[in-house]
Amino acid sequence: ESMFKVGFLSDVYQERSVGPESISKVITRFPPEPNGFLHIGHSKAIAINFGFAKYHGGECYLRFDDTNPAGEKKEYDDSIEDTVRWLGFKPVKITHSSDNFDRLYALAEALIEKGGAYVCHCTKSDIVDQRGGKKGEKPRYACSHRSRPIAESMCEFRAMRDGKYKPGEAALRMKQNLEDGNPQMWDVFAYRIPAKKKDEEDEEDEEEIRGNDAKETETNGVESDELQYAGPHYRTGNKWKIYPTYDFTHCLCDSFESITHSLCTTEFELSRVSYEWLNNQLDVYRPMQREYGRLSVSGTILSKRKIHELVKNKYVRARDDPRLYTLPALRRRGVPPGAILSFVNELGVTKAVTNIEVKRFETSVRRYLEVTVPRLMLVLDPVKVVIDNLPDDHLEMVELPFSKDPAMGVHTIPFTKTVYIERSDFREVDSPDYFRLAPGKTVGLMKAPFPITATSFEKDPSTGHISLIHATYEKPADGSAPKKPKSFIHWVASSPEHHSPIKAEVRIINPLFKSDNPAAHPDGFLKDINPDSEELFLNAMIETGFEEIRKRAPWPAEAGEKAVADQATMNEEHANSDASTVPGSAATGDGDSVTTAGPETVRFQGMRMGYFCVDKESGAERLVLNRIVSLKEDTGK
């Protein structure tokens, strides 16, 4: 509820446009273009649209805004839907702008018929000039096509449809008001003939805040006459050569779907006028457009083209590499959907653009994980310790709570003569300000009955690394209580019959970039890459409680969720959001939903080491873990 105490949204609700009588409830939509993965910024748009509808007892649709075949793919469509469901939201309907291509085309003809649009053949630079030049320093004027007869525009529009024109040779422009101070009224495009991109992956996107939409609004954006038609469209194939623009499509699809509140980001504020203009011209139901500030995240890059460059040059392993901030990447990294929602919730909703450092996001994730995931002992870089005064077959079973929260339960692990500890928890030479293990020094092994004291160590002559530490068990012979050691370290027992330790390969994720604004690097963003963005620990060891955690994932059922309920009250569905619903999955094969627990839902706190989850590269023979975040900011631990 906290999210909706913010004035902006309740004002928007109060203002609610009165639609046709059939619209008795709030209807919103989340309208992504299926031209890439969703990123962290989109989670705000998702939370607002689904959250607003839910809060007011309404419905939210997922609408794919698929009006540009260049760059749009079924693969992205599927990924986006999957991500929305993973976040815990269930679209009441899934629609596509392309469902309405016939209807939109008919309305374009209707607009021409009433003198509201004309076919224009001006080039990009002609149009810039007509709009007063690049800086708006010159007077604006109409082109000759603006005053052509209605019948001629109609004929030419049909010719565009029928393939008489190549990309850029003709476009349909709305006949708005060149006198208006708002550029969105300077005869923006309604239909254009998109060109095939030279290299689809090389497209320049997201550089301008409004992305392709803005460019389309300005002009055709194509000059050369050697261009090929874009397409085929992943849903309508080769049926169309002309495609409606954002400015023509969005307000009409909102209208067709009886959207009550069309919520969008503030770059579209100027577009509100053309949104209303077109619905009024065509005399259709007019939803209410209102704007909120984008969520922009610094210290990373979200541009699809740049992410592609990172993958191509092998700086990251895939587009969902855990070092990236697309939502599939955050999912793979192990960030719980509830943590993303509570982060967005914390930011609240205002008209101002929210600029957040990735560090602040991590703080929020850390806070969420602290109360929701179980704890285990994980040794990243193990060194062997032999407790010489224990018999070879020494075995004690030690009980460990999964969390400070007793509701999470306990598990039991073996304690044996040979254990592994973290290499960094041992020093060859002791000093008074050092409290962990060193020759002559005593430390506690977390939850083990008695402490140990190091006696000596051995080195591997070839590497010079310590290969073995000798220790003694400090169990008082007279049965008295042991002295409480100054510090406790984590450990894992060597007990083959208990399958301990479990071996793992751990990837520590560090910032991918050195600066806060990689895009601003004078020699290009690739020069800002942090060479240590990933640290590998190939011989990590986990205690056996991991098997239980894996069986019980997604974890936890209730306990932890209750603890975060105060922070993340945006929607009640997210309590289950780890249980992503995959329609038509292999398990049922009939399109029914099935509940899956992906590898990324196996999450735990490695005591003293951070929060970890299973990476999707894991298999029967290989366990790969990602460190989601460190335990504390900046400690590297």
CB of 276 to ligand ATP, least distance (A): 18
Q: How far apart (Å, rounded) are the C-alpha atoms in residues 518 and 323?
A: 14
Which residues within the stretch 272-311 sit at the binding site for ligand ATP (CB under 6 A)? 294-296, 302
From 28-36, 129-137, 453-461, 514-522, give the range in contact with ligand ATP by CB under 6 A: 28-36
CB of 248 to ligand ATP, least distance (A): 15
Do residues 508 and 534 lie in contact, with contact meaning Cβ atoms separated by under 8 Å?
Answer: yes
Q: Which does 294 bind (CB under 5 to 8 A by kind): ligand ATP, Mg ion, none?
A: ligand ATP
Burial 87-101 (b: 16+ CB within 10 A, else e): bbbebeeebbbbbbb
CB of 234 to ligand ATP, least distance (A): 15
Q: Among this protein's residues, is 158 annotated catalytic?
A: no
Catalytic residue among 175, 241, 304, 436: 304
Do residues 344 and 336 lie in contact, with contact meaning Cβ atoms separated by under 8 Å?
Answer: no
Does position 242 bind ligand ATP by CB under 6 A? Answer: no
Q: Between residues 42 and 627, which has the closer beta carbon with respect to ligand ATP?
A: 42
Sign of CA dihedral 308, 309, 311, 315: negative
Q: Between residues 197 and 394, which has the closer beta carbon with respect to ligand ATP?
A: 197
Q: Between residues 91 and 211, which has the closer beta carbon with respect to Mg ion?
A: 211
Q: Between residues 182 and 296, which has the closer beta carbon with respect to ligand ATP?
A: 296
From 6-14, 28-36, 82-90, 508-516, give the range in contact with Mg ion by CB under 5 A: 28-36
CA angle 119, 125, 127 (to 5 degrees): 40
Q: Which does 250 bind (CB under 5 to 8 A by kind): Mg ion, ligand ATP, none?
A: none
Q: Between residues 45 and 602, which has the closer beta carbon with respect to ligand ATP?
A: 45
From 40-48, 105-113, 148-156, 539-547, give the range in contact with ligand ATP by CB under 6 A: 40-48
Number of residues that bind Mg ion (CB under 5 A): 2
Out of 9, 26, 45, 329, point to the residue binding ligand ATP (CB under 6 A): 45
Q: Between residues 258 and 296, which has the closer beta carbon with respect to ligand ATP?
A: 296
For 526, the 3-state DSSP assignment is: helix
Q: Between residues 349 and 623, which has the closer beta carbon with respect to ligand ATP?
A: 349
CB of 33 to Mg ion, least distance (A): 5
Token pair belonging to 305: 């083209």
Q: How far apart (Å, rounded) are the C-alpha atoms in residues 379 and 608?
A: 10
Query: Half-sphere exposure of 533 toward its Cβ, with a 13 Å CA cutoff?
Result: 21
Nearest to 418 by CA among 541, 318, 539: 541
Q: Is 209 left (phi over 0), alpha (psi -120 to 50) or beta?
A: alpha
Q: Which does 96 bind (CB under 5 to 8 A by kind): ligand ATP, Mg ion, none?
A: none
Do residues 450 and 419 lie in contact, with contact meaning Cβ atoms separated by under 8 Å?
Answer: no
Do residues 353 and 294 lie in contact, with contact meaning Cβ atoms separated by under 8 Å?
Answer: yes
Q: Among this protein's residues, is 294 annotated catalytic?
A: yes
CB of 241 to ligand ATP, least distance (A): 23
CB of 269 to ligand ATP, least distance (A): 12
Which residues within the stretch 201-220 sit at the binding site for Mg ion (CB under 5 A)? 211
What Rg, from alpha-carbon coordinates, does the chain have?
Answer: 30
Q: How far apart (Å, rounded) are the C-alpha atoms in residues 270 and 442?
A: 69
Token pair belonging to 136: 């708006």
Strand 189-192 and strand 171-174: the pairing is: antiparallel
Do residues 295 and 40 lie in contact, with contact meaning Cβ atoms separated by under 8 Å?
Answer: yes
Out of 83, 153, 176, 265, point to the residue binding ligand ATP (CB under 6 A): 265
Secondary structure in 3-state letters for 98-148: HHHHHHHHHHHHHHHHCCCEEEECCCHHHHHHHCCCCCCCCCCCCCHHHHC
Does position 33 bind ligand ATP by CB under 6 A? Answer: yes
Residues facing residue 456 across a β-bridge: 470
Does position 264 bind ligand ATP by CB under 6 A? Answer: yes
Site mask for ligand ATP (CB under 6 A), range 164-203, x = bound: ----------------------------------------
Catalytic residue among 173, 272, 294, 507: 294
Q: How far apart (Å, rounded) are the C-alpha atoms in residues 182 and 142?
A: 15
Active-site residue set: 33, 294, 304
Instruction: Give the residues lining the site for ligand ATP (CB under 6 A).
Output: 31-33, 36, 41-42, 44-45, 205-206, 211, 264-265, 294-296, 302
Instruction: Give the residues lining the site for Mg ion (CB under 5 A).
Output: 33, 211
